[in-house]
A and B are shown apart, each in its own frame.
Chain A
Amino acid sequence: MNPLSKLKSFAPSDLQKIFIILMLPVFIEMIFPSLGACDRFKPILVFAVLGFGLNVVTGYCGLLNLGVAAFMAIGAYTFGILTVSIYPFQIGAWPALLVSCCAGAAAGVALGLPTLRLRGDYLAIVTLGFGEIVQDILRNLEVITKGSQGINPLPRLVVFPNERGLDSPIVSYLVILCIVMFVAWTMRNLERSAVGRAWTAVRDDELAAGCMGVPVVRTKLKAFAFGAALCSLAGALWASGLGSTGEPGNFDFALSILALCIVIVGGLGSVAGVLVGAIIMVGFNSIVLVELSERLGAAGFSGTQNVFASPANWKYFVLGAALIITMRLRPNGLLPSKPSEGGVL
């Protein structure tokens, strides 16, 4: 083996570089604990998992899922119901995380079985409608979901329960980071397996794939269910981080579009791209805009007098512009997927 190429294999890949970047908040937290860097950056990780979920469906399999927020809600509420002390289940945070994934996958199968045979465009409206009615259902079943109060308090994900003070922000950040790395690893595995190839085949040419013996509907269903499971995982992580499921209205269409922005801006079908997309979009949306709001509010410009002065009011604009600009200038995203140099689009 050529020594130079050996050296090259030690150079970090895009994915490794991104994980190094994602480690930064831990060091910042160690040096400046008052900044609360870990807690601020945690949403990036949670939404990266959501992005992975959408990436499986849209990036790998080419189906537009506009209801990821609904699957996230299913995960969050399953996690909440199974862990909260007002209900008799109380199975603990880690098992609940697993069950949440299963619940999401089950919902994905239930929605996918009748609809995945339809032409792709119809799926967009079906998932969009699903996203709406899940919110409605959560609001209507107030007896179970506690309506706008949300289900709380929910447990954090702890590695060694209640000993040696391992419940610090750094540990909980690292736990989620490990989960993200694990998910990224499974995504890479799937990409290189027969399942991943079948997804790409169905995305590129459904008819030819069918003629080659790829079971089209079952392949799509796998992507849909796995994507839904990951979205539910994101929801459970989100609820656990927040300590509450929040209100049903949190899981609105804007959240699904945020997930779409993450995947599109980063690069459809690319694991590293999803992480970059999450860093950019979530970093902007829930760190920069929020920070700016606080600063402006402190300086005396509040959004109540002037609608333009509140950065939070620019949220839709940012999401919309991100989609349009990416499509015009860099349709394959910032880090296009590797095996197909041309990217998905």
Chain B
Amino acid sequence: MTAALTTHDVTLRFGGLVAVDNVNITVNRGEIFAIIGPNGAGKTSLFNVISGIYPASAGKICVENIEPCLQPSMASRLQTAYVALISGLSALVVVNVTAVWQASINELFVFGEPFTWTSALRAMFFTIVAQPLTHTVLPLIIGATIGGLACHSLWYAGRRNTEVCSRSGLARTFQNVRLFPQLSALDNVLIGMHAGFASGFFSSLFRLPAVIREERRAREFALGLLRFVGLEKYSDQIAGSLPYGSQRRLEIARALASKPKVLLLDEPAAGMNPTESAKLMEIIKRIRESADGGSTIILIEHDMKVVMGISDRIAVLDYGSKIADGTPAEIRSNPDVIKAYLGASFAGDTQ
């Protein structure tokens, strides 16, 4: 079996607090994997690191053995060099603009007479060369340095963010539902499909036929997803006005819209009544079955009925570190888990 998602010694620190401590998890393809643990054990923090919201303080995360993190490449180096060049040249022009303009335009152009651009360019060049070094070499160097450094540092900061992670095949839902409350249910799903849209800005601007066709296809796909979670009747309703349970299901549909390899569900059953959570379990099971090639699901959940009912394997976190993982049966009988998390009363229930 191939690993869909692996975390290698992932650590997340907030100042002195260690929220996630050296966590190693391997989730196989097609698995439903649950992460449980007491409140504040670092489950959501782990999700946030995996989905790129927080950068990990240490360790690495791989999706299908590839790290979703831009590596320095020829293209990125060229880009930095290009920005450095452009900003250096602009600094040069900005500093000398008055002299250059005076020499190449004002002095050469006489109204009604022909104007040759070659002579203007020549005048421009010789004017810049004739300037003192503080007006030519200095701005060139300073501009290029600042531009290059800025480009590099911006690239570095955006090396592993939510967008990169999403593109690598991760999609998630949130513990406290984060739909776009002012958009319709259908539009919410369409935003999930955003990365799949091919038409560019200008074709959208003029609404070319290709855009209309693409939009129609996308709409059909999105309606299909809404049908899948049982919300096709509400496709035109504003997401914020849907009942809570439907909002949670809509969030799953939105996450599925990007056709993820790994789906991260953060407490999908929180605040649901037993009927709703049964329906949800049904949906989660169907996601795995319907997805071609097998979609992998990782979920955080407190509802033990849901966890034990659907997950193939479970990992237990406590105080940021993993204390156990295994099948539901193993976890149920693991003494560490019972001691650290489930507590005496639950241990009594299960035995």
Q: Which residues of A contact B (CB under 8 A)?
A: 85-88, 113-114, 117, 141, 143-144, 186, 189-190, 192-198, 200-201, 204-205, 207-217, 222, 226, 339-342, 344
Q: Could you say which residues of chain B place their CB within 8 Å of the CB of A114? A: 150, 154
B285 within 8 A of A: no
Q: Could you say which residues of chain A place their CB within 8 Å of the CB of B52? A: 210-211
Besides the contacts A143-B106, A190-B204, A212-B255, what 15 more A-B pairs have beta carbons closer than 8 Å? A117-B157, A190-B205, A194-B218, A198-B194, A200-B187, A209-B180, A209-B191, A210-B161, A210-B166, A211-B165, A211-B166, A212-B192, A214-B195, A215-B163, A342-B182
Q: In the complex, are the beta carbons of A212 and B204 less than 8 A apart?
A: no
List of 4 A-B pairs having minimum Cβ-Cβ separation, nearest first? A210-B162, A213-B166, A340-B182, A193-B204
Q: Separation in Å of the A301 CB from the closest CB of chain B?
A: 46
Task: Give the contacting residue for A197; candidates B150, B154, B187; CB below 8 A.
Answer: B187
Q: Separation in Å of the A143 CB from the closest CB of chain B?
A: 5
Interface 0/1 of B164-186, CB less than 8 Å to A:
01110001101000111111100
Q: Could you say which residues of chain B place their CB within 8 Å of the CB of A209? A: 180, 191
Q: In the complex, are the beta carbons of A193 and B157 less than 8 A apart?
A: no
Q: In the complex, are the beta carbons of A214 and B191 less than 8 A apart?
A: yes
Interface 0/1 of B201-219, CB less than 8 Å to A:
1001111000100010010
Q: Could you say which residues of chain A place their CB within 8 Å of the CB of B201? A: 195, 222, 226
Docked pose: A188 CA to B350 CA in angstroms: 60
Q: In the complex, are the beta carbons of A204 and B211 less than 8 A apart?
A: no
Q: Separation in Å of the B149 CB from the closest CB of chain A?
A: 11
Q: Give 7 CB contacts A-B under 8 Å.
A: A88-B108, A88-B120, A143-B102, A192-B215, A205-B180, A207-B162, A214-B163
Q: Could you say which residues of chain A place their CB within 8 Å of the CB of B211? A: 193
Q: Could you say which residues of chain B place their CB within 8 Å of the CB of A340? A: 182-183, 238
Docked pose: A190 CA to B204 CA in angstroms: 6
Q: In the complex, are the beta carbons of B192 and A144 less than 8 A apart?
A: no
In the complex, which residue of chain A has the Cβ closest to the Cβ of B87?
Answer: A110
In the complex, which residue of chain A has the Cβ closest to the Cβ of B86?
Answer: A110
In the complex, which residue of chain B has the Cβ closest to the Cβ of A86?
Answer: B111
Q: Could you say which residues of chain A place their CB within 8 Å of the CB of B197? A: 194
Q: Most chain-B CB neighbours within 10 Å: which of A87, A88, A144, A189?
A: A88
Q: In the complex, are the beta carbons of A88 and B183 less than 8 A apart?
A: no
Q: In the complex, are the beta carbons of B254 and A212 less than 8 A apart?
A: yes
Q: Could you say which residues of chain B place their CB within 8 Å of the CB of A198? A: 191, 194
Q: Could you say which residues of chain A place their CB within 8 Å of the CB of B238? A: 340-342
Q: In the complex, are the beta carbons of A211 and B51 less than 8 A apart?
A: yes
Answer whether A143 and B258 are a contact pair too, CB < 8 Å, given A212-B171, A213-B166, A340-B183: no
How many residues on B have C-beta within 8 angstroms of the other chain's C-beta atoms? 56
Q: Separation in Å of the B82 CB from the closest CB of chain A?
A: 13
Q: Could you say which residues of chain B place their CB within 8 Å of the CB of A212? A: 166, 171, 191-192, 194, 254-255, 257-258
Task: Give the contacting residue for A213; candidates B105, B167, B181, B205; CB below 8 A.
Answer: B167
Docked pose: A205 CA to B191 CA in angstroms: 12
Docked pose: A197 CA to B211 CA in angstroms: 14
Q: In the complex, are the beta carbons of B53 and A211 less than 8 A apart?
A: yes
In the complex, which residue of chain B has the Cβ closest to the Cβ of A189?
Answer: B207
Docked pose: A85 CA to B218 CA in angstroms: 51
Q: In the complex, are the beta carbons of A141 and B182 less than 8 A apart?
A: no
Q: Could you say which residues of chain A place their CB within 8 Å of the CB of B183? A: 197, 200-201, 204, 339-340
Docked pose: A162 CA to B240 CA in angstroms: 57
Q: In the complex, are the beta carbons of B109 and A207 less than 8 A apart?
A: no
Q: In the complex, are the beta carbons of A210 and B163 less than 8 A apart?
A: yes
B97 within 8 A of A: yes
Q: In the complex, are the beta carbons of A186 and B111 less than 8 A apart?
A: no
Q: In the complex, are the beta carbons of B105 and A87 less than 8 A apart?
A: yes
Docked pose: A88 CA to B195 CA in angstroms: 45
Interface 0/1 of B118-133, CB less than 8 Å to A:
0010000000000000
B290 within 8 A of A: no
Q: Separation in Å of the A3 CB from the closest CB of chain B?
A: 23
B115 within 8 A of A: yes
Q: In the complex, are the beta carbons of B163 and A216 less than 8 A apart?
A: yes
Q: Separation in Å of the A231 CB from the closest CB of chain B?
A: 16
Q: In the complex, are the beta carbons of A189 and B204 less than 8 A apart?
A: yes
B57 within 8 A of A: no
Docked pose: A37 CA to B296 CA in angstroms: 67
Q: In the complex, are the beta carbons of B191 and A339 less than 8 A apart?
A: no
Docked pose: A215 CA to B105 CA in angstroms: 42
In the complex, which residue of chain B has the Cβ closest to the Cβ of A340?
Answer: B182
Q: Most chain-B CB neighbours within 10 Å: which of A189, A204, A211, A216?
A: A211
In the complex, which residue of chain A has the Cβ closest to the Cβ of B195?
Answer: A213
Q: Most chain-B CB neighbours within 10 Å: which of A205, A208, A214?
A: A208
Q: Separation in Å of the A123 CB from the closest CB of chain B?
A: 15
Task: Give the contacting residue for A186; candidates B171, B179, B181, B205; CB below 8 A.
Answer: B205
Q: In the complex, are the beta carbons of A186 and B206 less than 8 A apart?
A: yes
Q: In the complex, are the beta carbons of B215 and A197 less than 8 A apart?
A: no
Q: In the complex, are the beta carbons of A194 and B157 less than 8 A apart?
A: no
Q: In the complex, are the beta carbons of A85 and B111 less than 8 A apart?
A: yes
Q: Could you say which residues of chain B place their CB within 8 Å of the CB of A186? A: 205-206
Task: Give the contacting residue for B162; candidates A86, A189, A211, A341; CB below 8 A.
Answer: A211
Q: Most chain-A CB neighbours within 10 Å: which of B162, B167, B174, B254?
A: B162
Q: In the complex, are the beta carbons of B98 and A213 less than 8 A apart?
A: no
Chain B residues 72 to 121 lying within 8 A of chain A, measured CB to CB, are: 97-98, 101-102, 105-106, 108-109, 111, 115, 120
Docked pose: A274 CA to B317 CA in angstroms: 53
B327 within 8 A of A: no
Q: In the complex, are the beta carbons of B184 and A211 less than 8 A apart?
A: no
Docked pose: A204 CA to B51 CA in angstroms: 19
Docked pose: A69 CA to B215 CA in angstroms: 35
Docked pose: A329 CA to B105 CA in angstroms: 54
Docked pose: A312 CA to B206 CA in angstroms: 41
B158 within 8 A of A: yes
Q: In the complex, are the beta carbons of B182 and A204 less than 8 A apart?
A: yes
Docked pose: A222 CA to B201 CA in angstroms: 8
B39 within 8 A of A: no
